[in-house]
Amino acid sequence: MTNTLKLLISQFKLQTRLFKNVTIGITDPGSLKQFYENANHVAWLTGHIVSSRYLLAGLIGLKEAEPFAELFLNGKGMDKNSIYPPMAELTKNWDSLSEKIAAALDSITDETLSSKLPRPVPSGDTVGDFIAFILHHEAYTIGQIGIYRKFQGLGAMSYN
């Protein structure tokens, strides 16, 4: 395994923990509150992050059925007329899914890393590029949920 991949896996594991820290304490009604009209709410942000990990899982060869695909698959945007699941439902597979992905990343081959994506991401067009992009994307989205924590009177996200 290259040092670069080791660092990416380390960040993946950090964000596995931070995602839980940033969502803890957010109530179901709170998860649907919006800063302003059309702002993405926490329920969507949460489901979007989880959905992205299912996408990653598929790209590295894991066969995991995505729950709530009708709401989040392929980066589907927030829909004010949709019924979003409770936070507990949105996050319930996070640990098990993340463990499987981390294990798969530990043994991922160069061939898989360099295989082409069905469609490119801003960082490039290989699975390796996708891993790099998704880690940025998760951090970006976790930060948005962090703002909602303050908005709802919750404490700052813990890094522990």
Partner 1 sequence: MASIKHLLNINASKEKVFKAITTINGLAQWWTNQTTGSTDIGGIIQFRFGDAGSDMKVISSEPDKSVIWECVAGFPDWVGTKVTFTLDSNGDKTKLQFEHSDWKEDNEFFAGCSFSWGRYMESLRQLCQTGKGEAFGTEGYKN
Chain contacts with partner 1 (rule: CB under 8 A)? 28-29, 31-32, 43, 68, 70-71, 80-86, 89
Q: CA-CA distance, 91 to 20, in Å (whole number)?
A: 8
129-145 burial code (b ≥16 CB/10 A, e <16): bbbbbbbebbeebbebb
Query: Both tokens of residue 122?
Result: 């801003």
The least CB distance from residue 100 to partner 1, in Å, is: 23
Query: Both tokens of residue 21?
Result: 């820290």
Q: Nearest to residue 18, comparing CAs of 154, 107, 142?
A: 142
By beta-carbon proximity to partner 1, the closer residue of 82 and 123 is: 82
Q: CA-CA distance, 82 to 78, in Å (whole number)?
A: 8
What DSSP element (H or E) covers 51? Answer: helix 42-59
By beta-carbon proximity to partner 1, the closer residue of 68 and 94 is: 68
By beta-carbon proximity to partner 1, the closer residue of 64 and 89 is: 89
The least CB distance from residue 57 to partner 1, in Å, is: 21
The least CB distance from residue 68 to partner 1, in Å, is: 6
The least CB distance from residue 127 to partner 1, in Å, is: 30
By beta-carbon proximity to partner 1, the closer residue of 139 and 154 is: 154
